[in-house]
Every structure is written in C-alpha cells, then in structure tokens.
Structure 1
C-alpha cells in the first residue's frame, strides 16, 4: 500500500520554516490571482507576510465557499464514549497520568446520551473516546454503531488509530467519516508530547489516513493541535497530507478541523500561541487553496469568533458540546477532555446562523443513497 510517509520524508521541517520567511508580498499576490492553486500557493497564503492581505483573503474565502457550498452550515454534536486512555499525552485531560474519575458508557447509558442529543435535533453524531484498546476497541465501536445507526443520519468517529481491517468493518457497519489528527508533524518533538502508549508511534499514526482511505470510508478528517508547535509549519504539513490523500483516495471527501489547545486537567501551556487573526488567516488559506475541502469549527472557539466565521469559510460546526462521557445526561461530573469556550445550546447556534443569513442543516444526506446503483 502507498503511504504518505514517502511524501513526508521528502520535506524538512526547518526548511519549510525558512521558506516561510522568504516569501514576499508579490508571491502572495501571485497565488491569490491564480485559478488553480498548488501546495506552494498554500505555503504563500499562510506566511507571515500574507497577513497583510487578510481582508482580501476573507472576501475571497467567502465568495468561494458560497459558490461551492451555498449559504449553509451543517451542525453536529460529539458523543463521548469513554475517557479511559492508555496514553500519556502532555496536553490532554484524558492522559493516563491524570488520576481522576474514568468512565466508559454502558449500552443503556449510550442510548440515554444519544436520545438526549436526538431531542436537541442532532442527526450528525461524532463518537469520541480515549485510546484504551482493551476497554474501547473495535468490538465496542461496532456495537455502538449498531445501536445508534437507525437513529441518526450520519455517524462519524474520532478514536484511536485502527488497522485497515478494522476500518473496513466500521465502513461496512455504516460509519460515514473518520477523524484522526496527527497532533503535530514535528517528528523530533512528537515523542516529548507522547512519552508513553501506542500513540507514541509517530509513523503508525502518520499512516492512519492511508488505512482509512483504503477501507473506502466516505470522508476523512484531518487537523493538527494548534499550540503544540509553529502553527504555520504544522499546517503546511497537514495540507501536504490532504493534498496527497485527495490524489490517492479520490473517491473520499476530506475535512479539516482547527483544534486550538484549550484548558484541561493537567495539561501544558501552549508552546505557540495562535491569535484569532492567525486562525482566520489559516481558514481563509485553506478555502482559497482548496475549494472542495470541508472546514469544521468546534466549540473550542469563543462565541465572537464562531459568529464571524460562519460567513468566512466554515461549512460545519458543533454545538451544545459536552466533552465527557455521560455529559449530556448520566454523569455530568466525569473528566472532560477539554473545556469548551462556546457553551450556547444547539437552538441558540441555529438562531445565530439564521441571523447571519445562512441555513443551519441538521441532515444533508440519507443512508439510502449509499446503496443506489447508477
């Protein structure tokens, strides 16, 4: 099987960082004026000098998004299955060395949580868990999907990296999307952030989207944890990864998320601070570079930022999120993965979207179309 690792090893973190500082405003203008843009153009658009054209980039991102996706925002909510984890990650509330209350949902608790979300109007569900293979492994995930799939139009998962065979089983069971974040593409310091557990294997995680794509999953979501390392360099490698995947697994769709480091139990302070204007530049750069990619904004971001990003490139948003297992109904005190910043309800977010002149969409696809023969 082909692997992104072969592409990744052709690039140097330090050289990309140097290139960023060599980019001129003329390079940025040339990239903005092109019809078909390359990964080199993306590098230009996330460079420090490109921030001088942020207003123009925002206007372009708005136009491109409306042309490709219309004036809609798809809404979803996460359902946390478990906060048990066998990894030590220095930035995560679920880290093994945080000696706090752990919980994995039983079947009955899972359904209580799911029905609470259903009552909120949620039809796109994201299943999330810590990385504890013996407790929440493939058997647990398959069972959860079987229990939930008749109640929701769309089920996505964000769990530990799995084998290709396991992704195939999830695909057969009806999983629509799989999200997996490399966290940082800085291989040398990756081990410092992940000193223990299966997650410490940088290359196994790096090749996970290849296994997802080979399994035929409909949509693959990528991202980096913004705050661990230089956001510009990390984001270049994330875009490089997406660029490779779109060519290799062209039947799949792709999304990108922008998790910024948020407060959580026992975590480190951000190594690199990313301001709101930086995140806006990054989102606009992705949209201008790649018209087809879906852009997802979570409740990690504050209300003001989320209000304004509705019209500037976003296509998907979470709302009413709880980041602990049982957080909607059965165990509101269990350990959170991170604190949310936007705590407004699903209904409040829908009204904000409508006020911006956009349509909040709870369901944009029906499973019946997956089996239609043309």
Structure 2
C-alpha cells in the first residue's frame, strides 16, 4: 500500500478470492481500516456477500464495490460454476443492489468478454446498467469490459472480440449512458488504451500486477494454495521463480507516471483522487 501511495495513487481496489473461509467480512473490514487513512477511496472486489456483511465493510471505510457477473448467459454460467456458493446466478446478479443498500457509493459491474458472443453479452449488461441507474440512482455506476486473456490454469477465451468491436462498444456505452464510468484495465495494450481514453474510457489501471505480492515481492514466505478449503504449499518446477502466479497476462506494462504523461500530452487531465470523505461530512 505504501508503494502505491508513493506512486501517486489515492484510489485502491482490494481483490481477493471468493472462499468465505479465507476472505471473511471481518478480515476485509480489518484490511479496509488499515488502508483507509492513506487512500481517499477504498473499493473491494470479492465474492458476493449479504447486505449486513457489506455494512460492516462500509463502516470500516470502504466506499466502492466491484462485482463481475462474468457472463449473463445462464447456461454458460452454470457450465463455468459447477459447485459452491458462486453457482448461484441470481445471488451474484443482485450483489450490486445489496451493496447499495449497505451504503457503497460506487458500484462497478462487468462481464468477461469471451465466454459467450459479445453482442449478446453486452445487451444484457446494458439492461443491468439501466436497472441500476433507476434503482441505485445515488451511486456512481461504472462498468469494466475485460477481454479474456490467457490465464492461470490454461483457460482460453471461447469467443473473440476485435479492437474495432471494443471501440464500437465503448462508443455505444458512452452514447447510451453519458453518466457511466467506463474502466479499461492493463489487459489491453498501451496504444489501444491511449486511443480509447479519447473516446469514452474514464478510468484506467496502471502499473498493475495480478499476482499476490507482485508490487514489492514481499510476503513470499506466506505464499500458499487453497484446495477445497485447505491451505497447501505451492508447487514449483525446477528452476522456476518461487513467486505467485498471475491471474492473467498484462499487456500494458508502462508505469503510472508514463501513462499519466501520455494522457496529458493528448490533452486529458489525469485525476488521481476524485473523492474525499469530507464531502459527506465524514
């Protein structure tokens, strides 16, 4: 966290696995309380929870909730989630509204582009957005459009989406939902991100690492895997670096300062902080 603060970040997203034994309400609240003094905005991206669980995390200082439906195709969703709490499609779908009821002021949703035909996916995503704008009208709504990339475990996307189609989607969302925040991650290459920032993207990650401990290489002695709720030691091949595995491959490896400089040269303002608790009397 101190490393990210030194780079200029004032907004942070806590991402964790979805096993409730290891990522509990109390654990998340403890993490948020530790980070809140140094970040004006703390968001979480974890497994869906009940409203009362979210309340405790909001009271600890979190103000943003991100949850991807992953796919709005119920058949594909059932194929991808064969067991466990994550199999409940409706519980995940209603997550943003439960978060809103708990007090989150920033709600982020999205679909993983590549699990089903992208046009079918985003039409349903747009319907979800319209619903949230009507029923969670006091929250800032954002959407993320991650195109699936080769990931840990050897998973490959089932359907493709071209750069031109991604640009078309960004334009369509910007026209349809002028107030919508559109997020683009470092999954995409730098030149494409620079261009999409000019036509509709409002928030981008920078200098990202998708593996635990990736920013500073600290905590290596605590690396582990979980198998059916049990903690087990990681397995390494001979000569392999003993580091955590990244969740997915990064395409834009530029530093935050480099990305900020490019945006300024293109006439855009780089905003590191867009919220403070003092705005609501906190």
Q: How does the TM-score come out when normalised to structure 2?
A: 0.89
Cα RMSD for the two superposed structures: 1.2
* Equivalent of residue 355 in structure 1, options 265, 268, 274: 265
| Higher CA-based Rg | 1
Q: Deviations over 1:188-240 (max 9, x none)?
A: 12111112322111111111112112222101101100000011111111110
**Alpha carbons 2:187, 2:252 under 8 Å: kept:** yes
Tell me whether 1:253 sits opposite 2:163 in the alignment.
Answer: no
Supply the distance in 2 between the matched residues of 1:240 and 1:180 (Cα, whole angstroms): 16
Cα distance in 2 for partners of 1:132, 1:336 equals 18
Q: Which of 13, 25, 28 is the aligned partner of 1:126?
A: 13
- Asked if residue 239 in structure 1 is aligned to residue 126 in structure 2, the reply is yes
**Structure 2 residue aligned with 1:293, among 180, 183, 189?**
180
Matches within 5 A, 1:7-46: none
Higher relative contact order (CA 8 A, sep 6+): 1
1:140 aligns with 2:27: yes
Aligned to 1:338: 248
Distance 2:256 2:140 in 1: 26
> Does the Cα contact within 8 Å between 1:165 and 1:215 map onto a contact in 2?
yes
Are positions 1:318 and 2:228 aligned together? Answer: no
- Where do 5+ consecutive residues of structure 1 fail to align? 1-113
CA contact (8 A) 1:216 1:252 kept: no
Name the counterpart of 2:235: none
Identify, as 1 or 2, the structure richer in helix.
Answer: 1
Please tell me whether the aligned partners of residues 222 and 257 of structure 1 are also in contact (alpha carbons under 8 angstroms). Answer: yes
SS in 2 for 1:271: coil
- Deviation at residue 288 of structure 1 after TM alignment: 0.2
Shift of 1:363: 1.0
Once the two structures are superposed, residues 286-332 of structure 1 have per-residue CA deviations (whole angstroms, 9 ceiling, x without a partner) of 00001101111110111111111111101111000011111111148
- Counterpart mapping for 1:202-221 below 5 A: 202-221=89-108
